[in-house]
Structure 1
Amino acid sequence: MKLSFELDSTEPTASIEVDIKTCIVAGWAGRDLAAIEHHIEELAELGVPRPSAVPLYYRIASNQLTQEQEVEVVGDGSSGEAEVFIFSHQGKTLISLASDHTDRKLEAHSVALSKQLCAKPVARAAWAYDDVEAYWDELILRAWIEEDGSSVLYQEGTLALLRHPMELIEGHFGQRAIPEHAGMTCGTVAAIGPIRPAPSFTMELFDPRRERSIRHTYTLRILPEVA
């Protein structure tokens, strides 16, 4: 899937196009194993199967990646999750932002299918990983949803809560570098309140040292569920 980005780095901003042929969603990617286990037990009570490994890597069809601002979903039971999206271009590691949009109704049947079914919205801006590597844990993930016509903070946390992306990359690819034409989402922070659907989702990756953000908003077009 070809994606276009505006690269904001220490160098002048440049437009790039990246062809992603392998897409991986890294799940259960928190650093606090006790918190992960607690969350697994909570979801198990709702019928969500226990993961076979932690972290667990889900292969997603690359054509599910999209940079459109409207996403079509079947039914009203899906919701987004803000995640760092890491990939490479001409030998350089880059980061952006993606939503691991997931069908929550299907999740109780199969977590993998609930993720594979949904499009994965991706932002149109990117940063060089080298520019933020030294203070990676300080970067902040945020998300807002629309509720009753208002924007409500839905997620917020630093990347210190999540496994380091190089650890995740090595765990799946066996090397501490993302291969060319591959992209990986790197886990998410907890929702504020229950996980819930919303008609629109805004996500942000904030760099507090340089006071800059990558942001992306998408809305849902809900398709009918037909028996």
Structure 2
Amino acid sequence: MDRAGGPGDNLVAEHINEQGDPDFNVGGVKRDMPPELQLEQLASYIHATYEDGPNYLALLPDRITHAAMLMLGSAVDHAMPATKWAGGVEVRPHELGAVFAPSEPTGAWAVSVWDGPANAKEMLWRPDVAAAAELSGTTILDVDDPADAQRAVDAVGAGVVWALGDVALPDAACYIVTFPSAQPERPGLVQVRAGSGLAGTEYHADGLISTPAEIRRRVEEAATFLRSAPSASAE
């Protein structure tokens, strides 16, 4: 990657673990890197190694884990949210999608919504939903079809809607909006990509590529918001 020269060049060079460099080593260097440089290394490897296709998003979590182990080094925790936190979650079917019930439910309900393809929902989105459910004690109904989000809110009395990307938001008390392309007008937690120009909590991300650490941070902060949001009981 081309870089402009500057006073930080020596520090950057110390951390870089580039394929093709004679000093490249599998597992990376045994030191931590700034989050923005971790993302740069991770994203550059994924973009160079994998082609876009129907299964790209579904395979992305495994590819992120593999690339992080290869490029970011042994000093970094590579656990994904579902691996780290969602072991106690019960998943049960619902006519509108899937319910993620935490091991210690508080009685609060939320609805989550993303318009991604079905295989990506299962592999990329719903594991994060499950982890946030377990961390917060909130039972979350993730809808199969974004058009059913309002029905879902009404069915379970959800106090929070959590949306990934740009989808039509149903009526709810408050919202988590993750990676919108425009500033949401609804009250709540807005999670934005660093450098997007939008107001909110910033995370280093390239599209839906983030380091495992940033994914965990984003899910933890969604769970913190869910714990403090208005509670509602199921039907």
> TM-score scaled by structure 1?
0.27
Higher relative contact order (CA 8 A, sep 6+): 1
From the two aligned structures, give the one with the greater helix fraction.
2
User: More strand per residue: 1 or 2?
Assistant: 1
